[in-house]
Amino acid sequence: MSVLKSQRKESKFEVFHHFYKMRKEITNLVYRNFGYKGTSDFERWLIDGEAKAVLNSLREAQKFITLANSIFPVYLFECDERRKFQDCAIGLHFQLLQELQFILESLPIDKNSYVRFAEMINKEIALLKGWRQSDNVIRKKIENKKEN
């Protein structure tokens, strides 16, 4: 049985939904100086630099997720462009993992508290890869139309 369009709930695009939740959590971590309590000028310089790097990675990842989602592929070149944006978003998430790893190694902070952030980032990477893989179905449909 189908549901009338006017009575349907808006579906959540899990890639976006999870990304916003993750971005909020990581931004709160940055706001709390990554959980570090030190106050020297060097530490402040390091924390400020890493905060900027982490927030820029999040901002750029959101940009590429949005760009990829704005393309509904009808032609093969659009599939390629969308995939390029998805790849950039995935790469930025790996970069984010590396930034957090550097922070863990550079500051005397509780490493166990970072496990959940790594899990959130890895889940987002998996969601992005799943989205990218599901686009292969669209690509095949476009290729089949082209052959006929």
- Sorted by sequence, the CB contacts under 8 Å of residue 68 that are 6+ apart come out as 82, 83, 85, 86, 89, 131
118-147 pLDDT, tens digit each: 999 999 999 999 999 999 999 999 999 877
pLDDT higher than 80, residue 2: no
| pTM, to two decimals | 0.88
Token look-up 């959540």 returns: 12
Burial of 35 (0-12, 13-18, 19+ CB in 10 A): middle
Between CA 58 and CA 44 the distance in angstroms is: 21
Residue type, 24: K
CB 18 within 8 A of CB 65: no
| pLDDT given at position 145 | 86
User: For the residues of 57-104, what is the DSSP string, one character each?
Assistant: HHHHHHHHHHHHHT---SSHHHHHHHHHHHHHHHHHHHHHHHHHHHHH
